[in-house]
């Protein structure tokens, strides 16, 4: 899986490393900004109010 991605990256080694880091940064950004905030309410670790259906 990751081997395929690595082989699909163009350019010499240094460019590939930079592209790979960029890809990782993009994935982390998507997770932090959209994915994690969307799934967090379904993971019951954070309830501060009384009357919550805990």
Give contact residues for other proteins (rule: CB under 8 A).
1-3, 6-7, 13, 28, 31-32, 36, 40-41, 44-54
CB of 18 to other proteins, least distance (A): 15
> In whole angstroms, how close is the CB of 41 to other proteins at the nearest point?
7
Q: Exposure pattern of 14-40 as b/e (b: 16+ CB <10 Å)?
A: eeeeebeeeeeeeeeeeeeeeeeeeee
Minimum Å gap between C-beta 23 and other proteins is 13
């Amino acid at each position: 899986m990751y081997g395929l991605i690595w082989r699909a990256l163009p350019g010499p080694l240094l460019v590939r490393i930079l592209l790979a880091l960029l890809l990782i940064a993009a994935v982390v950004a998507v997770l932090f900004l959209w994915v994690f905030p969307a799934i967090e309410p379904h993971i019951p670790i954070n309830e501060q109010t009384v009357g919550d259906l805990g």
